[in-house]
Amino acid sequence: MTITKNKVALIHYTLKDESGEVLDSSEGREPLAFIQGIGNIIEGLEEKLEGKTVGDRIETTISPEKAYGLRSEENVHIVPLSSFQADGDEKLVEGMQVRVETNEGVSLADVAKIDGEEVTLDLNHPLAGETLHFTVEVVDVRDASKEELEHGHAHGPGGHHHH
Ligand code: ZN
């Protein structure tokens, strides 16, 4: 069986950035299970895995446009420091992550800079703008169950899952 739309694929993967640093890996864990073709994983990886089968190994480089997108200055906002002070007593420091209300609901933002009364928040995905290198091994390909397709994600062995 090959990886095509609506099949469940299980992969082991290692993700590195352009400098070769490992950002994420399934090594020592269960393989990653996903449904192909519905955006469970980044677009560039779906394209490279289409038609692959158990035992196939690929090494691939994926541009930001097919991964987590480009960084956008529209996702960088300057807000007054005073807007955080109602939030309890945890001190705001550069580099920490905070939850913010956006038009699309609650989102995580990076505190990029604190300059006097001005706080710069960065809502870009941490991997936005990054070219990603993946090493992937396909360990299983199977049909998705009706339930998995309804839920829009793969379930673990034995059908258990968490939401
Ligand atoms: Zn489910």
* Contact indicator for 76, 121 with CB cutoff of 8 Å: yes
Q: Are residues 112 and 81 in the same domain?
A: yes
Q: Are residues 64 and 97 in the same domain?
A: no
In a domain, 40, yes or no: yes
Find the mean pLDDT for residues 106-112. Answer: 91
HSE-CB for 152 with a 13 A CA cutoff: 5
CA of 162 to the centre of ligand 1 (A): 7
What's the pLDDT score for residue 59?
A: 98
Each residue's pLDDT tens digit, 50-91 = 999 999 999 999 999 999 999 999 999 999 998 886 556 678
Taking the alpha carbons at both ends of the chain, their separation in whole angstroms is: 28
CA of 123 to the centre of ligand 1 (A): 28
Q: Are residues 17 and 63 in the same domain?
A: yes
Q: Are residues 17 and 41 in the same domain?
A: yes
What's the pLDDT score for residue 87?
A: 54
Is residue 154 pLDDT above 90, yes or no? yes
* Contact indicator for 13, 134 with CB cutoff of 8 Å: yes
CA of 118 to the centre of ligand 1 (A): 42
- Number of domain units in the chain: 2
Each residue's pLDDT tens digit, 16-46 = 999 999 999 999 999 999 999 999 999 999 9
What's the pLDDT score for residue 161?
A: 59
CA of 139 to the centre of ligand 1 (A): 21
- Tell whether pTM > 0.85: no
CA of 46 to the centre of ligand 1 (A): 20
Q: Are residues 56 and 11 in the same domain?
A: yes
Q: CATH number, domain at 92?
A: 2.40.10.330
State the residue range of the domain holding 54: 7-68+127-151
Is residue 119 pLDDT above 60, yes or no? yes
Pairing type for strands 7-16 and 97-102 reads: unpaired
* Residue 136's pLDDT band (cuts 50, 70, 90): very high
Q: Are residues 25 and 48 in the same domain?
A: yes
What percent of the chain has pLDDT above 90?
A: 80
What percent of the chain has pLDDT above 70?
A: 93
What's the pLDDT score for residue 102?
A: 81
In a domain, 157, yes or no: no
Q: CATH number, domain at 27?
A: 3.10.50.40
Find the mean pLDDT for residues 98-121. Answer: 90
Q: How far apart are CA 1 and CA 163, in angstroms?
A: 28
Q: Are residues 113 and 135 in the same domain?
A: no
Is residue 163 pLDDT above 60, yes or no? no
What's the pLDDT score for residue 89?
A: 62
